[in-house]
Structure 1
Amino acid sequence: MFASPYPDVEIPKATLYEYLFGGLDAMDLDRIAVVDGMTGAETSYRELVTRIDALAGWLASHEAGPGTTAGLFCPNIPAFAVVFHGILRAGVAVTTVNSLYTAEEVGRQLTDAGASWLFTISPFLERAEAAAQAAGIPAERLVVLDGGDLATAAGHPSLAEALGAGLPAPDLRIDPHSPAVIPYSSGTSGTPKGVMLSQYNLVANVAQNSGFGLTPDDVLLAVLPFFHIYGLTVLLNLAFAERARLVTMPKFDFPEFLRITQDYRCTYLFIAPPIAVALAKHPLVDQYDLSSVRVVVSGAAPLDGELGAAVVRRLGCVMLQGYGMTELSPVSHSIPLRDAGTVPLDSVGYAIPNTQCKLLDIATDEEIPLPADGETGRGQLLVRGPQVMLGYLNQPDATAATIDPDGFLRTGDIATVSAGGVVTIVDRLKELIKYKGYQIAPAELEALLLTHPQIADAAVIGVHADDGEEVPKAFVVRQAGAEVGDEDVMEFVAMHAAPFKRVRFVEFVDAIPKSASGKILRRELRARG
């Protein structure tokens, strides 16, 4: 076993609201908390907290409290911060929903999470209404964050109505160890599962991430989606904890990304590797003044060290890398700002404070000892700490398979560790496909393909496209006499799944290779490309 080289940090047994906003002083209250990157509209910390309290009061007046779950189907806009924290302030659990999901996918998540409320925006309303109907959520519990008249006409309350009621936040005793946030993740394999994170998990992970070196003078560009745990913890909550300024961006567009960075003088960019590729290579970068950027942090997928170095040379910034997963709230490892330049950039650095790890031999599951010098061979990385999830919602078997009796979470990722404790992710056991930082579960696409009347069997693996991205490829067995073609398969998936899940390649085969127990032999499929 090896641990963080840094001393443990104190983790208060407080709610997330108390931890982030309980210590605001007069100077803090007048600082700008959130800026709408598209319009320039600013929200101070005073305004933010007032709105959070008002929404919590309105929800309490509608009998929403502990034991209730609400869905949040919303892109990165300032209102996300109000609604997310307002829901938690009322003692309600929140399940964050991918903005790209179809109505079917949203409905499945809401149903699985047991959500009885849904918050969304007017451009998402058609999908949200269909999803709410599927999940049994009545119109009066589907709250529209913008477009008050549209909401009223459709029989839905609006955020303006809720805030305008001016009701005080409820006086609640909230157990910080109870499930509070339920993002969905495919874990190490399988279809998406609800990850139960407590307020204590979220408080802990913010406290553990002081190594990124944020200050109240920093300006963060929130391009990574808040519905994803990376954006939720490392952008939304960490920024507020450090009294920094957060500039929101509802969807990624590279010219807009560059414009917002330039115009708002952003100092920190938290990104995924595809954005690093653009920053290193795209000619458009030279048309913008990015001199304000002092730190770029990459996560969500492995970053190549040479690519990171190219970003450093082009922007004149510091480059860091972090590692984690939804089940870890999400961060377990990072290169701290203080160690930038001394820790290899293609590594994920050290375990963060209050975190212990071990490496297990892939074949024997025996623990691999830390070497006296050099680095270990490859093994599966396990992590233990206050950021480890409570478990998967209504999935005790999956939880037991992921968290061992000693509290170590099996990440499904293959790593090496140096004598000094530097961890490098080299491969993964899990079968997930990672496309531009998004997780795609092969089993989910396979289940969808099998609903096609002309498909007898199917398997999905990740393959590398010409641009280097990992994308889904489907191996399909046709029904006897069927004439379904490549485009038919791809269009079918596109109709029923989010854009990032779309199948990009199709190969028709006579049979899907499987083990005696019926498990798909993906290794054989990968061998044929």
Structure 2
Amino acid sequence: MVFTSPSWVPSLPIDPPDTVSLDEFMTTEKYGRYSLVKSKNPFTCGLSGKTYTATEAKTRVEFLARALAKRLEFAPNEGTEWDKVVALYSLNTIDYLPFTHAVHRLSGIVTPASAAYSAAEVEHQLRSSGAKALFTCIPLLDTALKAAKAVNIPNDRIFIMPMPGAATTTPFATIDDLVEEGKSLPPLEPLKWVKGQGARQVAFLCYSSGTSGLPKAVMISHRNVIANIIQYTTFDSVPRTQLGVDTQVVLGLLPFSHIYGLVVIAFANTFRGDEVIVLPKFELKTFLEAVQNYKIGQLFVVPPIVIQLLRNQELCRKYDLSAVRYLYTGAAPLGAETVDDVKRQYPKWRVGQAYGMTETCTVVCTTSETDIDVGSSGSLVPGTRAKIVDPTTGQEITEDNKPGELLVQGPSVVLGYLNNTKATAETFVWLEDGRWIRTGDEVIVRKAASGHEHLVIVDRIKELIKVKGHQVAPAELEAHLLTHPFVSDCAVIQVPDERAGEVPKAFVVKGPDAAGKPDEEIARAICKHVEDHKARHKWIKGGVEFIEAVPKSPSGKILRRLLRDKEKQARQAKGAKL
């Protein structure tokens, strides 16, 4: 049985175009973009107030593209997109999305790297993507330089994204320098794309943790992003019309390097004329100040931020949050109990969730403000089809409230993984009715009070650990732990954490070199081994527990469920909540 959008959701107004770049789609009104003149300023810095109008931002993009073309020798209609890969390793700034437009104006590829990455992780992304240049910001510059040096990116191909409060004098050119330089350069020739090019050509290489090894490069086409912008905004147009919301001010706090921040917050909201208030990182006081000062109506957040709001009510009461209408969460499920707590503190707020993944670029289902089913991730966006199958038998599940693996089909499902045919073949499968993605997530379909179908995410078949919106692959940490002489074998699972939502915990079988040493010393050494080489969200914050053997199936697969059961029993014995 194939599930689709509820009857109230309009069909897509146009077939997502495949002959234009994402830059052209976003900066012209031909394909349904909200009027540039009538739009709110697309990006405003929540710390400094610096901003540009939509027309000013479009002009800056053109000047920036001219300067990049000259500096990097990128001609719009010469070579392939793989000759023009540019990495973006930065905190959120008001120039983040305009920068991507400039690269796409040249028919290039942007590969965004998480600001939480270590030098080794940035190096892996630069090397595997084939990046020819790197844009970063002052707070991340030292790490960026180490990574760039390792892959031989020269200093004249390293550029700075200006940040509020950061140093302004460096030997590296800034985006503002490039925009100024571009003013005196001749106009670029238009892109000469043929039919179907937008569906084939990669716009972004976004890195997904997956379930094994190092993060994989997800190839996202221009049409993939265009399609999901149209899907998400079409779905959301109905409740916004019902509530009398034309354009609004939204929060741009979540990392734009993450697919949720990039497509949903940055692209989709500015496409429909909204203003995004940009914050580089989460600090509760600056967050509250931004909500108050800019009268933010919609908060795009992840569950740990919601927890911080609830736990700091004394501080929150000092700020006027009355403009908030909708609290919208993604990246990890928000529990019904937490939703109830939010509603008690802020009874006028609507609370909704969404579900998506990098490989579906981005939103598969989302919650309408006028059709909320607490605990669900909402309904399918238009143009997306879903199946639920028994992961053991492969049989399709047709009834409500019966769990199975979610398969998704639609125009936003990406091209595959770069240089990884095995992972691509395992994840993107051809059935008799076309190409589908196996999400690895266990879901049920249930009817809301309205009678419409909603999807509820039950469990993660692929075992990902989600820490403050970041995805952590247990296998990546296990492979790293096994390089320590104190570790003979290991397994990593997720355990609950009040601040982060989830954190990794390691079950370790001691190696010979650990003999005679106190457990505390061994555990500290193992944790430090991770902290010295991995991003903070990958640290073993859940602790280290020593076991005699890692439970495995006959084929050698780690039976994490047994370890989760063991952890659950231990926490229940201590009165802790799992």
Structure 1 partner of 2:232 = 209
Is this contact kept in 2: 1:209–1:352, CA < 8 A? Answer: yes
Cα-to-partner distance string for 1:142-194 (whole Å, 9 max, x where unaligned): 11223797432xxx433233212223344223431211101111235553111
Alignment of 1:388-427 (within 5 A): 388-405=413-430, 406-418=434-446, 420-427=452-459
Residue 186 (1) aligns with residue 209 (2): yes
Is this contact kept in 2: 1:226–1:236, CA < 8 A? Answer: yes
Is this contact kept in 1: 2:213–2:479, CA < 8 A? Answer: no
Question: TM-score, normalising length from structure 2?
Answer: 0.85
Aligned-pair distance for 1:27? 6.1
Is this contact kept in 2: 1:188–1:412, CA < 8 A? Answer: no
Aligned-pair distance for 1:115? 1.0
Distance 2:268 2:522 in 1: 48
Is this contact kept in 1: 2:211–2:462, CA < 8 A? Answer: yes
Is this contact kept in 1: 2:307–2:498, CA < 8 A? Answer: no
Cα-to-partner distance string for 1:69-96 (whole Å, 9 max, x where unaligned): 1110011111212212211222110111
Is this contact kept in 2: 1:272–1:436, CA < 8 A? Answer: yes
Is this contact kept in 1: 2:467–2:500, CA < 8 A? Answer: no
Structure 2 partner of 1:176 = 198
Aligned-pair distance for 1:455? 2.5
Structure 2 counterpart SS, 1:19: helix
Q: Give 2:147's aligned amino acid.
A: A
Residue 311 (1) aligns with residue 342 (2): yes
Distance 2:284 2:322 in 1: 17
Structure 2 partner of 1:12 = 17
Comparing 159-168 with 39-48, greater Cα deviation is found at 159-168
Q: How many residues align?
A: 519
Distance 1:464 1:22 in 2: 45
Distance 2:498 2:174 in 1: 45
Is this contact kept in 2: 1:7–1:353, CA < 8 A? Answer: yes
Check 1:477–1:77 CA distance in 2 against 1; reply closer, same or farther (3 A cut): same
Q: Give 1:19's aligned amino acid.
A: F
Q: Give 1:391's aligned amino acid.
A: G
Q: Give 1:479's aligned amino acid.
A: G
Structure 1 partner of 2:287 = 257
Structure 2 partner of 1:384 = 409
Q: Give 2:469's aligned amino acid.
A: G
Structure 1 partner of 2:522 = 485
Distance 2:260 2:159 in 1: 25
Residue 294 (1) aligns with residue 294 (2): no
Aligned with residue 458 of structure 1, among 460, 482, 490: 490
Aligned-pair distance for 1:314? 2.7
Distance 2:340 2:106 in 1: 45
Distance 2:499 2:55 in 1: 45
Structure 1 partner of 2:101 = 85
Structure 1 partner of 2:576 = none
Distance 1:108 1:270 in 2: 30
Distance 1:276 1:26 in 2: 33
Is this contact kept in 2: 1:276–1:308, CA < 8 A? Answer: no
Structure 2 counterpart SS, 1:489: helix
Aligned with residue 353 of structure 1, among 378, 382, 389: 382
Check 1:26–1:411 CA distance in 2 against 1; reply closer, same or farther (3 A cut): closer
Is this contact kept in 2: 1:270–1:298, CA < 8 A? Answer: yes
Distance 1:466 1:238 in 2: 31
Distance 1:427 1:382 in 2: 14
Structure 1 partner of 2:47 = 38
Structure 2 counterpart SS, 1:41: coil
Alignment of 1:436-447 (within 5 A): 436-447=468-479
Q: Give 2:380's aligned amino acid.
A: A
Alignment of 1:210-229 (within 5 A): 210=233, 211-213=235-237, 217-229=247-259
Distance 2:524 2:491 in 1: 17
Comparing 411-420 with 183-192, greater Cα deviation is found at 183-192
Distance 2:158 2:391 in 1: 47
Percent identity for Structure 1 against Structure 2: 38
Structure 1 partner of 2:74 = 64
Structure 2 partner of 1:74 = 90
Unaligned runs of 5+ in 2: 76-80, 568-578
Structure 2 counterpart SS, 1:431: coil
Q: Give 2:274's aligned amino acid.
A: A
Is this contact kept in 1: 2:356–2:364, CA < 8 A? Answer: yes
Question: TM-score, normalising length from structure 1?
Answer: 0.93
Structure 2 partner of 1:135 = 151
Q: Give 2:407's aligned amino acid.
A: L
Check 1:333–1:160 CA distance in 2 against 1; reply closer, same or farther (3 A cut): same
Unaligned runs of 5+ in 1: none
Structure 2 counterpart SS, 1:422: strand
Is this contact kept in 1: 2:109–2:203, CA < 8 A? Answer: yes
Distance 2:170 2:104 in 1: 23
Structure 2 counterpart SS, 1:404: strand
RMSD after superposition: 2.1
Structure 1 counterpart SS, 2:117: coil
Comparing 306-315 with 444-453, greater Cα deviation is found at 306-315
Aligned-pair distance for 1:239? 1.7
Is this contact kept in 2: 1:368–1:376, CA < 8 A? Answer: no
Residue 151 (1) aligns with residue 182 (2): no
Aligned with residue 430 of structure 1, among 462, 471, 487: 462
Q: Give 1:136's aligned amino acid.
A: N
Structure 2 partner of 1:509 = 547
Check 1:109–1:496 CA distance in 2 against 1; reply closer, same or farther (3 A cut): same
Is this contact kept in 2: 1:55–1:169, CA < 8 A? Answer: no
Structure 2 partner of 1:495 = 532
Distance 1:286 1:203 in 2: 40
Q: Give 1:388's aligned amino acid.
A: V
Is this contact kept in 1: 2:251–2:300, CA < 8 A? Answer: yes
Distance 1:481 1:238 in 2: 53
Comparing 9-18 with 389-398, greater Cα deviation is found at 9-18
Aligned with residue 501 of structure 2, among 469, 478, 497: 469
